[in-house]
A and B are shown apart, each in its own frame.
Chain A
Amino acid sequence: MSFQPVKFYQTGTYTVGNRLLGPDERSVQSGELRSNSINSGHRACQGCGEALGARYAIDAAMAESNNQLIAVNATGCLEVFSTPYPESSWQLPWIHSLFGNAAAVATGVAAALKVKGKTEVRVVAQGGDGGTTDIGFGCLSGMFERNDDVLYICYDNEAYMNTGVQRSSATPPTARTATTMPVGKEPGNVFGQGKNVPEIAMAHGIPYVATATVADLRDLEYKVRKAMKMHGARYIHIFVPCPLGWGSASHDTIKLARLAKETGTFPVFEAEHGEVTSVLKIRKKQPIEEYLKPQKRFAHLFGKHAHPEMVEHLQAIADRNIRKYGLLDEEKAHG
Chain B
Amino acid sequence: MLKQIEGSKAVAEAIALCRPEVICAYPISPQTHIVEALGEMVKSEELAPCEFINVESEFAAMSVAIGSSAAGARSYTATASQGLLFMVEAVYNAAGLGLPIVMTVANRAIGAPINIWNDHSDSLSQRDSGWMQLFAETNQEAVDLHIQAFKLAEELSMPIMVCMDGFILTHAFERVDIPTQEQVDGYLPPFDPRQSLDPKEPISIGAMVGPEAFMEVKYLAHAKQMQALELIPQLAAEFKQQFGRDSGGLVRTYRADDAETMIVAMGSVLGTVKDTVDELREQGHKIGVLGIISYRPFPLQEVRAALVNCKRFVVLEKSLAVGMGGIVATDVRMAVSGTGLKGFTAIAGLGGRNITKASLHKLFLEAEQEKLEPVTFLDLDWDVVNKQLEREKQNRHSGPIAENILYDKGMSTSAAKFG
A contact residues vs B (CB 8 Å cutoff): 67-70, 72-73, 79-80, 83-88, 90-98, 100-101, 104-117, 121, 138-139, 141-142, 145-146
Contact residues, B31-78 vs A (CB, 8 A): 49-51, 53-57, 59-60, 63-73, 75
Q: Using an 8 Å CB-CB cutoff, how does the interface string of B21-32 with A read, 1 for contact, 0 for none?
A: 110100000000
Bound CA–CA A139/B50 (angstroms)? 21
Nearest CB in chain B to that of A122: its residue: B199
Chain B neighbourhood of A106, CB < 8 A: 67
A138 x B57 contact (CB < 8 A): yes
B199 x A93 contact (CB < 8 A): yes
Nearest CB in chain B to that of A95: its residue: B205
B67 x A109 contact (CB < 8 A): yes
9 closest cross-chain pairs (CB), A and B: A108-B67, A142-B56, A112-B71, A104-B63, A96-B206, A101-B63, A112-B73, A105-B67, A108-B68
A142 x B57 contact (CB < 8 A): yes
The distance from the CB of B100 to the nearest CB of chain A, in whole angstroms, is 13
Interface stretch of the complex, out of B122-130, B151-159, B207-215: B207-215
Bound CA–CA A149/B43 (angstroms)? 19
Nearest CB in chain A to that of B207: its residue: A83
Q: Does B89 contact A (CB under 8 A)?
A: yes
The distance from the CB of B23 to the nearest CB of chain A, in whole angstroms, is 9
B208 x A85 contact (CB < 8 A): yes
Bound CA–CA A115/B65 (angstroms)? 13
Q: Does B337 contact A (CB under 8 A)?
A: no
A146 x B70 contact (CB < 8 A): no
Say yes or no: A97-B206 contact (C-beta < 8 A), given A109-B70, A138-B57. Answer: yes
Nearest CB in chain A to that of B71: its residue: A112
Nearest CB in chain B to that of A87: its residue: B207
Q: List 10 A-B contacts (CB under 8 A).
A: A93-B201, A94-B204, A96-B207, A100-B89, A111-B64, A115-B22, A115-B73, A138-B56, A138-B60, A142-B56
A97 x B71 contact (CB < 8 A): no
B56 x A113 contact (CB < 8 A): no
Bound CA–CA A318/B206 (angstroms)? 40
B contact residues vs A (CB 8 Å cutoff): 21-22, 24, 49-51, 53-57, 59-60, 63-73, 75, 89-90, 93, 97, 197-199, 201-210, 212-213
Chain A neighbourhood of B207, CB < 8 A: 83-88, 96
B56 x A97 contact (CB < 8 A): no
Sample of 11 further A-B pairs with CB below 8 A, known A108-B71, A109-B67, A112-B21: A70-B71, A83-B208, A85-B213, A93-B197, A96-B207, A98-B89, A106-B67, A107-B67, A108-B66, A116-B21, A139-B59
Nearest CB in chain A to that of B217: its residue: A85
Bound CA–CA A286/B210 (angstroms)? 46
A107 x B53 contact (CB < 8 A): yes
B60 x A104 contact (CB < 8 A): yes
Bound CA–CA A116/B70 (angstroms)? 13
B70 x A108 contact (CB < 8 A): yes
The distance from the CB of A89 to the nearest CB of chain B, in whole angstroms, is 9
Q: Which of B22, B57, B199, B206 has a CB less than 8 Å from the CB of A111?
A: B22
Say yes or no: A111-B70 contact (C-beta < 8 A), given A100-B59, A142-B57, A146-B54. Answer: no
Chain B neighbourhood of A116, CB < 8 A: 21, 49, 71-73
Nearest CB in chain A to that of B198: its residue: A93
A69 x B199 contact (CB < 8 A): yes
Bound CA–CA A87/B212 (angstroms)? 13
The distance from the CB of B207 to the nearest CB of chain A, in whole angstroms, is 4
A104 x B208 contact (CB < 8 A): no
B202 x A94 contact (CB < 8 A): yes
Say yes or no: A85-B63 contact (C-beta < 8 A), given A69-B199, A112-B22. Answer: no
B59 x A109 contact (CB < 8 A): no
Bound CA–CA A97/B57 (angstroms)? 16
B56 x A83 contact (CB < 8 A): no
Say yes or no: A138-B59 contact (C-beta < 8 A), given A92-B199, A98-B90. Answer: yes
B208 x A108 contact (CB < 8 A): no
B55 x A104 contact (CB < 8 A): yes
The distance from the CB of B205 to the nearest CB of chain A, in whole angstroms, is 4
Chain B neighbourhood of A108, CB < 8 A: 22, 24, 53, 63-71, 73, 75
